[in-house]
Amino acid sequence: MKKTRVLHILPDLMPYGLEKMVASLVLLADRDRFEPAVVSLYGRQEGSLAKQIEDAGVQVFHLDKRRGLDLRMFPRLREVCGQFQPDVLHTHNYVLRYTLPVAALTRPGAQVHTIHNVADQEVDRLGMWLQNKAFHSGAVVPVAIAGEVAASMERVYGIRNPELIPNGIPVRAFADVPGQREAWRAKEGYAQDELLIACVARFFPQKNHHTLLIAFSQLQNTNAKLLLAGDGYLESEVRAQAEQLGIEDRVKFIGRRDDVAALLASVDMVALASLWEGNPLSVMEAMAAGRACAMTSVGAIPELMEHGRSGLIAPPGNAKALAEAMQTLLDNPELRGRMGVAARQRALQKFDHQVMVDSYQDLYLRALQGRKQAVAA
């Protein structure tokens, strides 16, 4: 039986939410029916997911993109498409501006595009214009990753009831391992009885570390430490803010991590102050690890986390409300434990990544069939 070739195209493969979602799609693909491959517009980077994907026998193409508009992407993408001959192009983030002209020449059987954020924050105005044309022409099947993302697609593109495939994660990889907390804390230099709050997020405007630091500075428990895991161009600005607030000794910048499961298992709670989100894997991972969370009510977070049961939710940009949520969890270890158990149970029931993979594979086949019928008509 001929396998369906699926080519994923995304900006890079650094291990954040979108990229880990794509890795799940290719690593868990039914290799008897599908042959996946991945294009990273940017070059190979240390710490990326490329090696993991290649070790699984999946081709990865790096196109060495320059910052900004890079016209070299058009011939390079066409060359990759000519070499791999995809049946399905699955695009992510802003890349449709590069793939649409190439697809017009190479004519894959179907095109799928996942909206990974609320639609008005995903791409710039040019991207919105191009995507609107592509979606309404029927050339590209748009996919929402959460109910709030689907609602934003109706606001921005006028699309009602788009394909809805929630993100998934390897939930069982975040299971509690006996002794892991003690070993991780000893290795990283934290006392076993220290109260640790983690935030796993890039230093980008979306993640709003500014409000998080203000909220943390308002906590009454001055023994708590805030661990900021991630990297990004705003890191120096966040460091300066911590100094201005006089909390630099309690805010730890621990960099981008490849031990997120162990990190989450070793902290007492997780906080996130995002201004907007799609369906954040970091929240799903925290819940899968059984950690109580203090989060802002943006994107799919209220869909993922039940306020008052598996965590506490505050309005975005409201440092006082976020501080109150964090303080409540810090002051009540029994509540933290109960919410952590509820979060873990919800993750086991709702977040498994195999469900996501199966849903996309079904969509690929339906999109191909729909395209064939449209051509025949």
Give the tens place of pLDDT for each residue, 218-229: 999 778 999 999
Cβ(311)–Cβ(339) below 8 Å = yes
Q: Name the token pair of 360.
A: 């996309």
Neighbours of 134 (CB within 10 A): 22
Q: How far is CA 338 from CA 221, 286, 292, 347, in A?
A: 21, 14, 8, 14
Average pLDDT, the chain: 95
CA atoms within 13 A on the CB side of 22: 35
**Which pLDDT tens digit goes with each residue over 331-357?**
999 999 999 999 999 999 999 999 999
Tell me the C-alpha distance between 370 and 92, whole Å.
21
Domain 171-350: which topology? Rossmann fold (3.40.50)
**Which pLDDT tens digit goes with each residue over 235-260?**
999 999 999 999 999 999 999 999 99
Question: What single DSSP character describes residue 65?
Answer: P
Outline where DSSP puts E strands in 116-173.
141-144, 163-164
Strand partners, 19: none
Domain 4-168+353-376: which topology? Rossmann fold (3.40.50)
What band does 376 get if pLDDT is binned at 50, 70 and 90? low
Cα dihedral 261/262/268/273 (nearest 10): -40
Cβ(296)–Cβ(316) below 8 Å = yes
pLDDT at position 40 is 98
Q: Which residues of the chain form CATH 3.40.50.2000?
A: 4-168+353-376, 171-350
pLDDT at position 222 is 76
pTM score of the predicted model: 0.89
Average pLDDT of span 306-325: 97
